[in-house]
Amino acid sequence: MTPDNEKTAIEVRGLAKRFGEVQAVAGIDFEVRPGELFGFLGPNGAGKTTTVRMLTGVLEPTDGTAIIQGHDVRAEALLSRAHLGIVPEEANVYLDLSLWQNLMLMAEMHGVPRRQRVHEGERLLKALDLSDRKRHKARTLSKGLRQRLMLCTALVTGPEILFLDEPTSGLDVASARLIRQIVRHLRDQGLTVFLTTHNMDEAEEMCSRVAIINQGRIVAIDAPERLRSAMRCSQYLEVALAGDEADTAELERLPGILRLSREGTCVRLYSEQPGRLAAEVVALAKTKGLEIVHLCTRKPSLEDVFLYFTGDHAQEREQ
């Protein structure tokens, strides 16, 4: 293990995957620090799942490699997989086994000693409120409960890195909240978490850093707050005037407007200085005798950042 590797839980170097003519992942590089809750975002087909499948040993990279806890996923595949716990989007538990059998099976596959796996199994079932269903077949569980069981089976192996793929997608509020709560708790205890999600609020709330992947390339990587701040051009002023259409033209002529969009009855005026623009709008309304129904400045959300890097503007930017 090199000193550099000691500083990273996951180190991805030029990782690429090609399926025939399709370049699913095009040589990406990033690092995840120990104890970090790292978000991995991207639209469908961007290369998120392929990346995760390469990191977890399901797929062999076409090029490049990744180091997991100091072990190369290609050269030391078994050692690198020994450190992982995985919760896929679709809970793939053995439906005909009981909750307890599912837990013990996964712990045995990771070589967890008997005493330790029994103790951890009991503890985790209790923590995820599944103790009373211990002997039930997994088939009898709802989607939310199956996802909790998946989290148990991932954690019973004592992983150093937890991969979560859309862990709360389609879950009821209680299950989603419980899973988020536990993941935060694990992060606070120092577990490294690699979270793939479409839920921007979840990523913004939980992740210390996020990477955005689009068309197989990492297009942005930083703390959510810093990504938002860096996008000054995506700050905007939201205005609603009484009696609208004609007024849009007046608004468009105001100085410092980068672009304008209409959202229902509101108009969004994008500007690097939305505060100053607000004063201009008030002055315009006064001069023209317009009534302002709604006026507020907004910073870009992580969703705006995501759309900026992956939506229509992504191609424009590249050009």
Partner 1 sequence: MTASTELAQTWQRQAQGALVIVKKNAMLYYLKPPVLIFGVLFPVFFFLAFKMGRPIAAENIVPGMVAMALWFTASAVGPLVTPWERQAKTYERLISTPVSLQAILGGDVASGLIFGACLSVVPVGLGLALTDASIVSVVELIGGILLGALSFAALGVLLAAPPASSPSNIMLLSNLVRLPLLFVSGVFVPIDRMPGWARWIAPVSPLSYAGDMIRSGFGRPAYFPAWLSPVMLVAFTVLLFWGAQAFHRRWRAKGL
Pick the stretch among 80-88, 114-122, 128-136, 263-271 that binds partner 1 (CB under 8 A): 80-88
> Please, which residue, 98 or 273, has the CB nearer to partner 1?
98
What gap in Å lies between CA 256 and CA 81, rounded to an integer?
53
User: Which of 5, 13, 70, 82 is close enough to bind partner 1 by CB under 8 A?
Assistant: 82
- Strands 161-165 and 10-19 come out as unpaired
56 sits near partner 1 (criterion: CB under 8 A): yes
Out of 63, 90, 129, 188, the only residue in the binding site for partner 1 (CB under 8 A) is: 90
| Residue labelled with tokens 């879950």 | 171
Burial 52-81 (b: 16+ CB within 10 A, else e): bbbbbbebebeebbbbbbbbbbeeeeeebb
Does 93 bind partner 1 (CB under 8 A)? Our answer is yes
Q: Among 111, 243, 264, 289, indicate the residue that binds partner 1 (CB under 8 A).
A: 111
> Hey, which residues between 156 and 195 contact partner 1 (CB under 8 A)?
none
Which residue in 79, 118, 233, 307 binds partner 1 (CB under 8 A)?
Answer: 79
Distance CA(128)–CA(180), nearest Å, equals 11
Closest CA to 160 of 34, 25, 44, 52: 34
Query: Residue 138 to residues 42, 135, 172, 178: CA-CA distances in angstroms?
Result: 31, 9, 18, 19
User: Count residues contacting partner 1 (CB under 8 A)?
Assistant: 31
Give residues in contact with partner 1 (CB under 8 A): 19, 24, 50, 53, 56-60, 77-79, 81-82, 84, 86, 88, 90, 92-97, 101, 105-106, 108-111
